[in-house]
Amino acid sequence: MERLTKFLRQRAASTFLVFVGLVIVFSLFSPRHVFINSRNIAALGKLFPDLGVVALGVGMLMICGEFDLSVASVLPFCAYIFARTLYAGFAPFWGLVLSILVGGGLGWVNGFLTVRTRMPSFITTLGTLMFWRGILYVWSQMMPLGIRQYVPTGSTFEKVFTGTILGFFPIQSLWFAIFAIILGVLLHRHRFGNWVYATGDNKDAARAMGINTDWVKTVCFTVVGLLCGFSACMQSVRIGSFAATQGIGLELRAIAACVVGGTSLRGGVGSMPGVVLGALTIPILDNGLVLLRVPVFGITAFIGLATILFVVLNAYVERRFR
C-alpha cells in the first residue's frame, strides 16, 4: 500500500507540474494577460464544476476498472426531470431530490447490467447512452424549457447553486470541493476505497479476499449517477433552462480529465487529487486556447493531443517507478 501511495503521489506531482505550466503559459501569452483577469477566473470557477463534479465519480469508477459513457445522456435526462418537476408545481428542492434519485437509479441500472451480464461496461453504458438519449429526445420533443420563472435570480435556491461567497468565490467551486473531499476520504481513508483499488487491480484476487466486487462496482456506478443528477440541477439553474443537447461530449471529456489526472484506463491506479487536477486542466486548456484565438472547432484536437501526451507521461512515470 505504501508503494502504491508513493506511486500515486508521483503521478499527481507530474500532473500538477503540467497544470502549473499551462497556467503560466496562458497567463503570459493571452492578450493583455486576460487569462488571470478576475472576471475570467470567476467565469472558470462557475463553468468547470459542470464537468468536474461528474469527473470525480467517473474517476472513482475508472479506478474500479469500469467506464460510464452514459453520463452524457443521464445528465440531460436528470435536467429534464428537474425542469418538469418545476413545471408540475413542486418546489425546486423536491426537483433537486428527484433528479438526484433518478440519476442514482440510472447509475444503478448501469451497474446491474454490467455485473449481471458480465459484458464490458464500455458496451453496456454505450447502449444506455443511446437509449436514454433517445427516450429524452422523444419525451422532450427536443423543446427547451425555461426555468427562470420557477428559480428566479436572487432566490435562495438560485444563490445556493450559482451565488458567490465573500462576493467573488463561485459557490459551484465550493460544491466541487465538497464532493472532492468526500470522495477523497472515501477512496483514500476508508476501507471501501481499498475495495475499489483491489477490484480495479485484480477482480479475481479481490474476490478471493472476500470482497463483493459486484457490489463495489454497482456502488461506484450509482455514485456517478448521483453526481450527474446534482450536476444537472446545478447547470440548469446556472443557465436558467433545460436543453436536450446538454451533456453532449461529456463522457469523453470526463474520461479525458481522469486520464490527464493520472487515472489508469486498466483500473486499479488513480487518485482523487489527480482527478481534481485533471478536472481543472481540461477547462483551463479550453479557456486558454479560446483566449489565444485558436479556432473553436480545433480545440477538441488539442484536448485529444493533450490526453495522448498525458497517457505517455503517466506511462513514463510508471516505468520509472517500477
Listing DSSP states for 124-188 in one string gives: HHHHHHHHHHHHHHHHHTT--EE-TTTS-TTSHHHHHHH-EETTTEEHHHHHHHHHHHHHHHHHH
For all residues of the chain together, what is the average pLDDT? 88
The mean pLDDT value for 219-243 works out to 94
Cα dihedral across residues 282, 283, 284, 286: positive or negative: positive
On the question of pLDDT at 310 being above 70, the answer is yes
- Residue 120 predicted with pLDDT over 70: yes
Amino acid letter for position 90: F
pLDDT over 60 at 2, yes or no: no
Mean pLDDT of 132-157: 91
CA dist 306 and 281 (Å) reads 10
First to last CA, the chain: 14
Judge whether 12 and 277 are in contact, CB under 8 Å: yes
Residues 6+ apart with CB under 8 A from 4: 197, 269
Contact call for residues 303 and 253 (beta carbons, < 8 A): yes
Question: What is the Cα–Cα distance from 247 to 313, expressed in whole angstroms?
Answer: 29
The rounded distance, in Å, linking the Cα atoms of 253 and 72 is 10
User: Domains in the chain, start-ordered, CATH in brackets?
Assistant: 2-321 (1.10.3470)
Cα-Cα-Cα-Cα dihedral of 205, 255, 282, 76, to 10°? -130
More confident residue, 141 or 9: 141
pLDDT of residue 16: 78
Range name among 45-54, 258-267, 313-322 with the lowest pLDDT average: 313-322
pTM of the model: 0.91
CB 85 within 8 A of CB 99: yes
Residue 158 exposed, middle or buried by CB count within 10 Å (0-12, 13-18, 19+): middle
CA atoms within 13 A on the CB side of 280: 21
Least confident of 80-84, 184-188, 301-305: 301-305
Percent of the chain topping pLDDT 90: 50
Per-residue pLDDT tens over the stretch 190-229: 999 999 999 998 888 999 989 999 999 999 999 999 999 9
Overall residue count recorded for the chain in this entry = 322
Q: State pLDDT tens for residues 5-64.
A: 665 566 666 677 778 888 888 888 888 778 888 888 888 888 889 999 999 999 999 999
Residues 248 and 76: their CA atoms lie apart, in Å, by: 9
Beta strands of the chain (E only): which ranges?
145-146, 164-165, 169-170, 241-242
Say what the pLDDT of residue 178 is.
Answer: 95
Q: How many CB atoms lie under 10 A from the CB of residue 47? A: 18
What does the pLDDT read at residue 52? 93
If pLDDT is split at 50, 70 and 90, which confidence band does 4 have?
low
- Determine which of 5-9, 102-106, 237-241 has the lowest per-residue pLDDT on average: 5-9
* Distance from C-alpha of 284 to C-alpha of 92, rounded to nearest angstrom: 31
User: Which of 194 and 309 is assigned the larger pLDDT?
Assistant: 194
